[in-house]
Structure 1
Amino acid sequence: MFKQRREKFMGLMRGGIAIIPANAEITRSADGHYPFCQNKNFLYLTGFPEPDAIALLMPKHPEHRFVLFVRPRDKSREIWDGRRFGPEGAKSQFGADVAYTIAELDEVLPRYLENQDVLYHGFGNDPAFDARVHRWLDMVRGKSRQGVIAPAEFVDPNEVIHEMRLIKDEHDLATMRAAAKISVGAHIRGMAVTKPGMFEYELGAEMEHHCRMRGSRNQAYSSIVGSGDNANILHYRENDRKMEDGDIVCVDLGCELDGYASDITRAWPVNGRFTPEQKIIYDLVLKAHQEAIKRAKAGNTIRNTHETAAKVLAQGLIDLGILKGDAETHMRVCIGDDKETRFPEGQPVLKDFYMHGTSHWIGMDVHDVGRYRKGDQWRKLEPGMCFTVEPGLYFSVDNPRAPDRFRGIGIRIEDDIHVTRGEPEYITKGLPLTSADVEAACRGDFPMP
C-alpha cells in the first residue's frame, strides 16, 4: 500500500528529489513529552512511525528511489524509550532501498541533491529544518566549479500529497469506518450513563474509556463535553461543570485509529428527556443535517451542503418567529455570499445562532487536507471524498437576541460522510438520529454497533 502511494506520488513529480520529514517529539514539561503524533504526509507515504526521520523520494535514481534517515538502534535509549527499527528495520520492514542514521544527514543528503533540477520541499512549515535544507543546498552550490548542479526549481510536495489524500482508497475507508464504529459506540455509551450531578469530565472519561478499550490509543482531537450554556461554546475545553437536571449536553468527541480520525457530535438531555423547547431546536437541526447530507453527492460541492443547512435553519427560525424576512437572504448573508443586505439594527440574523461552517474534509487529520476551491470555483465532489456535515443552533444565555424560551440551549449534530457514485455513505452509521432515538439511547435501549 505505502509503496503504491510512493509510486503514484513519484509519478506526479517532474523528476528531481522530494524531502519529506517526520515530526519531532514535543516537550510537555521538563524531560516529558506529549504523546507522539506522526506527520500525516510522511505517514501516508512511508508508514514509518518514529520521530525525527526523513524520507527522500527520487523517481529517476537508478537504485535509491526511496531513502530513509532514521534514529539508530541504541540499547541504552531503548531501555528507557522503547525499541527502534534502525536503518536495517527501515529497509526490511518499510521497504527503503537504502537507509542511514539521522547522524549521517549532513554528510549524505547533500550528495543526493547533486545534479537534481527540482527540489520538492515544503518551505515555511519548520524554519529550523528549512535552514538545514538551505545549508545543504549551499554545500551543493559550492561545487559548481566542479560542474555540480544544484536544484534551481522548488515545488511544495504538500500540494501533491494533499490531493492524493483527498480521494480515499479502500485502506483509508476501511480504517475510517473502524474508527467511526468505535466512536459511535462511545456516544451511545455516553448517552446511557449521563445523569444529573455528573461532571462533564466524568462523561468524557466514560466515552474515551470506551474508545481505549476497543483499540484506539488517542482521541482525534480534544474532547468537547459542554453542558448547559457551555454547549454554546463551539470549542469548549474545560469540561469541568457539574451537569444539572434540565440541561442539554453537547458532546463533540471522536477517536483516532491507526492514524485516521473520526469526528462526531451529538446533543442529548442530561435527564434523558427533551423539554419541548429542546426538542424543537433538536428537530430543526436534525432537519438541516438530513437535508444537507442529501447534497453530499458527486457533482455537487461542499458549499451546497452549507447553503442547504443554513437555508433550512433560517426557514425554521422564521417559522418560530425568531427571524424576519426570507430564508434565502438570511442564508446568503450568513454564509458570506451577500455582503450588501443590511438588516434593521437589533433585528436577529441567522449568524447570531449559527456562526460556523457545515462541513470540513476528514481523513488522517480531523480537519483534513485538500483544497476546497479550484480557482474561483468551489470544487466538485468526487467519489472517495469524505467530509463532515455538522449544522447547529446556539442560544447563549448572554446573547441578547436569543429568545428567553431557548436560552441556554446549544445543539449540533455531526456525522462523517463518504461521497460515492450513488447515495452518500454514513461512515458514522449506527448513531441515534431522531429525538426519540436519542431518548431511547439515554434509557439504554439503543443497540451498540
Structure 2
Amino acid sequence: MTEFTIIALLAVAVFLLAGFTLLLFRGKRSSAPRARKGNRDREAIVREANRALSQNPKDAGALQTLADLYFTEQAWDKAYKTYAALVDICATNPDLDSHTINLRHGLCALELKQYEVAYKSLVFARSLNAEGFDLNYGLGVLEYRRKAYEKAVSLLRAAHEESPEHIGTTRYLAQALYKIKKYNDAIGLLRRLVDVQPDDKEALFVLGQAYFELGQEEQAARIFSHLRTDPAFGPRSALLAGTIRLKHKQYEKAQTDFELGLRHEQIHPDVAIELRYRLAGAYTKTQQLSKALGLLDQIQDARPAYKDVPQQIGRMRELASNKNLQTFLVAGSSEFVALCRKVTDNFFPQARVKVTDVSVTRNEYADILAEVETSSWVDLILFRYIRTTGQVGELALRDFHARLKDLKAGRGFCLTAGTFTDAATQFVEARLIDLIDKEQLVKILNRVA
C-alpha cells in the first residue's frame, strides 16, 4: 500500500467521524426544542379549553379535551371532576360517547376509592356496551369488594381472557374463586401469580388456605410455616400451621407455631385469643399444665365466656391437684397404660390378677384383658379405660360389648373420666358390663396413688 493511499484513507476516516459527531450534536440540540414544543402544545390545549369553558362552562368539546388529557396523564382527581361534568350533560348531547365517558368516570372514581360512585358509573357503562377489559376488570374488582363473588368471577374471567398476563386481574380472580370454594381453580391462578411475584404474601397465604381446604395439609403447612414471621400474615399463618400440627399430634411443633404467632406486635384480637386457646391445648397435651392454666386465665380475663375456657380452667385445676387423673387424661401412652395396669391389679381387693392382653387405640382408650381369681370365683374380665372428660355414648358401649364377645370375656368394666349417656346406661342394663364414671374413677385412682 502506497503512502498516498494511507493518507487518503485516514482523511476519509476523519471526515466520517466529524460528520457523525455533528449529527449527534444536532440531534441533542433538536430534542430539547421538541420537548419544549410538546409542553407548549399541551399548555396551548389547556389554555384554549379553559378559555372556551370560561365562556360556556358546559362546552362539551372543551370538557372532553381536558378530561381525555387528564385521564391519559393519570391525573385522576382532575379527570374525575371533568368526566363528572360530562356525565351531567350526556343525556342532552347525543354527540357525546356516553359509554366511554361513564367508563372513564367510573375508573377515575375507582382510583380515588370512591367505590359507590365508581360502581354506579361502570354499571351504566356496561348497560351500553358490556365489552372491554377496563370495564370488566374495574367492575369485577368492585363486585369483589361488595362480596358479590359469583358476579366478580364472571367479570374477572372475561377480563382475564382478554389480558391473561394482567397481575391485578389474576389476583382478584384467584381470590374470588377461593371465596366461592372453587379451590382447584384458585390454586392454578395463585401458583402462577406466586411464580411471577414471589414476594406477594397475600397470594401465598390464600394459596395455603386453598390447600388447607382441600385437605392437602402438607403443602398448606409448608406455606404457613414460611409466612409465620411475616408482619401482616404471620399471626394467622402461625395459627393455621399450629392447628395442622396439633391435628397430627405434633404437639411441640404446634407450640412453636403458636408461640411465634403471639410474638407479633400487631395481632387481630380474635386471632390472639385463638392462638392462646390452642397453645393452652398444646401445653396440656405435653403436661405443661401451669402454662396452660396461665393462658386460659388470660383468655378468661379478656373474654369470660370464650368457648369452653371456664370448664377447662376447672379441669386444669383439678388435674394439677390429682397426679393420677392427670396421667389418665393427658400423659403419654406408656404412662397411661402403666396406670391402667395398676388399677386393674388393684380393682378387686385380695384377688389374684394375671393380665393376658393389652391394646391401645389411637391413644384414646386402652383395653386390658385379665384373668381374675378370688376366693369365691374365677373369671376372664375385660377393662376398657376411656380417656375423655366428655360423655360416652351407646356406640362406644356397643363396640365394647362386641370386643367382649370376641375375647369370650365373662364380664366387662368401662371406666372414664367423663360420664355416660342415658342410652349407654340403658344398653348395659341387661348385659354383664359395669360402668365407672368420673366420680367413681377418681376414688379408685386415689386408692391406688
TM-score by length of 1: 0.25
Larger Rg: 2
TM-score by length of 2: 0.25
Kindly indicate which of the two structures has a greater share of residues assigned to helix: 2
